[in-house]
A and B are shown apart, each in its own frame.
Chain A
Amino acid sequence: MTIGIGGAGSKIAAKLDNGAVLVNVSETELNKVPGGGRRILASVHAARGQFKGSRMNPEIGHDAYQSIRRELLDMAQGDVVFSSTGGGTGNGITTGILNDLTKASDIATADKTSFGLILPYAKLESSEFVNNTIEFLTGPLAAAIDSGNTGNIFLFSNKKKFEEKVSEEHYNQELVDSLRVFLSIPDKNDKYRLLDGHIDHEDFALFMSKPYFNHFTYFDYDPKKPFGEQLDANSNPYLLEPEAAIEALFLLEVPKGGDPTLFYEILQYFASKDVSPIYSVIENPDRQKPQVTVSLLYSRKPAELVDDFNRISEGHAQAKVKKSLDQWVELEKMEVNLEKEARRAVKQRGEGEEVLATLRRLGKL
């Protein structure tokens, strides 16, 4: 099952899974999301009744989490939760889930929850989104990773969307299509002829249950070029750039009658990085060229992860202060006579005043 929390998380979850459970504090927003399955309204009340949004305030989302906590925690076991980190609802409710997972003990491999987190594009999105993200990454996410109680964490980035000016609908569709390629690995192992290795559903679930960041990508593999160069050139534009891999998984699809030994070059590449990947090679008659789907599990301290966001956030704060000053504050030009001020200070201190008086009496000043 897939769970979508908040506006951004719900849209992606609904595109990926027709049976996705969608959660929001706003009924209006819940009903606006096309597709998906069951809808859950997280109850949180302002003085004038149920909130119709969380005003980019994660505390409202977190309060709402209490109303659906038990149900949501049960559902999230072994599932993928999608949420943005910038908005109030996604950030607040996901914070609640992460905090509870951090405190839990003995979560079975099959029950680990994976997270698809949509990070704002710091250069262009609102400073509230950026600040909420910093709080989220350094707080609940860091603690959950340290506890080892989560599954894979996918850090989706809005960078491509904003830099290439792509519509949200189109961007979400591309992101989901990309994710489907990765998630289809065990199904392809079932469906197509196996040439080497094997990744079954259990292997894949075990890989997904590891508490690391997951960067997956896929590309046409040219055996004449070094694999590492091709991997570097084809990182997934919908995800944050990966760090050095700790674990890896790959699926090599070769055309009908293709060379089933191409994967050795890929294995050698990972061996040079001290990584022993799980892999499989299948014959896919629909392919004209070999294609490889790779997933890298990496660990990056959230503190390092937020460096970029911190830099942007400081910039936002400085710009805000400057704008406020430019718009609202007129600073009068102060005419300061330093000598006069110094004399006043001497008078206040008392010391030295007598010296000056003496010099004046002598007529030397």
Chain B
Amino acid sequence: MGRELTTDDFSKLFELQTQRLGEAHFLVMYWAAQGEDLDCRYNITNTFDDMKRLGITRTKQTAVAIVESLAALCFIEIREERNRKNIFITTYGAKALEALVLSGRFVPRASGYLEEHAKT
């Protein structure tokens, strides 16, 4: 049996996971947080539409893969609500998003869906 993981190990793991995230992951977490802040449900379909509009991907499969990878890392939570898969950022995801913001690697870009929602 291997040794138990220490706090340092967890920190290192978190750092490595965060380093591997790309712009698309960054935006999904950001939009999820923004949606929650606006009290607006943000789901996988909205994610795909926003990514397509920004030229990040043209296929829904890719958008789904990005969302699922974030969910696998426990950075977001996907909740089935009224036949929609809504996305919520977790506290781990918030930490990862914070780390990405501080690293300066990515710049926030607006979600068309959330902008529309904010107007109403």
Contacts and interface: CB of A to CB of B under 8 A. Distances in A.
B94 A345 contact: no
A358 B34 contact: yes
Nearest to B89: A364
A300 interface: no
Nearest to B37: A358
A47 interface: no
B111 to A, nearest CB: 12
Contacts of B94: 359, 362, 364-365
B17 interface: no
Contact of A362 (B37, B102, B108): B37
B108 A352 contact: yes
A361 B37 contact: yes
A362 to B, nearest CB: 6
A346 B108 CA distance: 12
Contacts of B37: 358, 361-362
B104 A345 contact: yes
Interface of B: 30, 33-34, 36-37, 89-91, 93-95, 97-98, 101-104, 107-108
A354 B102 contact: no
A281 to B, nearest CB: 81
Contacts of B107: 351-352
Interface string A108-147: 0000000000000000000000000000000000000000
A269 B79 CA distance: 93
5 contacts: A359-B94, A362-B37, A362-B94, A364-B90, A364-B93
A356 B104 contact: no
A359 B98 contact: yes
Given A364-B89, A364-B91, A364-B94, A358 B102 contact: no
A329 interface: no
A352 B93 CA distance: 15
Interface of B is mostly: helix
A246 B66 CA distance: 73
Contacts of B95: 365
Interface in A307-365: 339, 342-343, 345-346, 349, 351-352, 354-356, 358-359, 361-362, 364-365
Contacts of A345: 102, 104
A339, A352, A354 — most chain B CB neighbours (10 Å): A352
A352 B104 contact: yes
Interface in A60-76: none
B102 A355 contact: no
What 9 pairs across the A-B complex have the smallest Cβ distances? Answer: A364-B94, A352-B101, A342-B102, A359-B94, A358-B37, A364-B91, A351-B107, A355-B101, A358-B33
A350 to B, nearest CB: 10
Contacts of A349: 104
Given A339-B102, A355-B101, 19 more contacts: A342-B103, A343-B102, A345-B102, A346-B102, A346-B104, A352-B102, A352-B104, A352-B107, A354-B108, A355-B30, A355-B33, A359-B33, A359-B94, A361-B37, A362-B89, A364-B90, A364-B91, A364-B94, A365-B98
